[in-house]
Amino acid sequence: MTEKTQTDQVALVTGAAQGLGKAIAKSLFNAGFAVVVTDANEGGAQETALEIDASQERVLALKLDVLLKSDFSEALETAVVRFGKVDALVNNAAMTPTTPVMEITPEEFDKVVSVNMRGTFFGCQVFGQYFADKGYGRIVNLASLAGQNGGTASGAHYASSKGAILTMTKIFARQLAESGVTVNAVAPGPIDLPSVRALVPPERLEQIINEMIPVKALGNAEFVADMVTKLASPEASFVTGAAWDVNGGIFMR
């Protein structure tokens, strides 16, 4: 059997139009992957794809609404037509509201849980079956420190959904391990991203940095993206069902 290398791999990333998803897509591309940039915002996905690879030879932009299982199936089919296969899935798409716990409405709760938890579940289900059928695959789920400690500045629905993703990662890891498919999670703490600075008031963010983060700094998105890329690589065959913590020492175990 021919040994796999990153230069012949294809990865699909959800929620890749901006923020951490965009950083992950760039990292995968720079490591040699062909990358399928997906997002509910099709225009944003196209802009990111052009930014990553102006030639569009190793990148494809697609609209993918993680609320729709059919969108995962259609994106997979389109990617296979374009690149011949898909080898890795990064479930990154998420909503990150900071609504106080007693003010969360039923509608907001359902939307956040559906995007974050159900979206990750159907991604694992659709791509997990495809990977299992071909005997190889990598799935990386974006969890969060919030799912481990209840959150530092995030909403209760967000934290709960990310805790569920940690459990879901273990479930799919067990289900797919014998088929040559690994499933892992990365659980970042507060990352220095425009979205984080937009969600958390400056004074609250400074308080978090100075009083709650032992290393007294926000995390680096590129480092998290490189970690995801490593877990998506063929070399990551002996790592599955794990949660990789990147939180500045807020949560230690």
Q: In this model, does residue 183 exceed pLDDT 80?
A: yes
pLDDT of residue 1: 44
Q: pTM of the predicted model, to two decimals?
A: 0.95
Mean pLDDT of 42-56: 97
% of the chain surpassing 70 pLDDT: 97
- At 52, the amino acid letter reads I
* Separation CA 49–CA 32 (nearest Å): 15
Query: Residue 57: is it exposed, middle or buried by C-beta count within 10 angstroms (0-12/13-18/19+)?
Result: exposed
Mean pLDDT of 174-195: 95
Confidence of residue 2 (pLDDT cuts 50, 70, 90): low
Look up residue 78 and give its two tokens: 């389109």
pLDDT of residue 154: 84
Mean pLDDT of 219-223: 97
| Cα 238-1-82 angle, rounded to 5 deg | 90
pLDDT of residue 197: 86
Among 3.10.20.30, 3.90.220.20, 3.40.50.720, 3.40.50.1700, name the CATH number for the domain at 6-242.
Answer: 3.40.50.720
pLDDT of residue 148: 96
pLDDT in tens, 206-216: 998 999 999 99
Q: Which residue has the tokens 């990598």?
A: 138
**Cα→Cα distances 79→34, 56, 251, Å:** 10, 13, 37
Residues with catalytic function: 158
Mean pLDDT of 231-251: 97
| Domain regions of the chain by residue span | 6-242
pLDDT of residue 201: 84
Mean pLDDT of 12-17: 98
Q: In this model, does residue 6 exceed pLDDT 80?
A: no
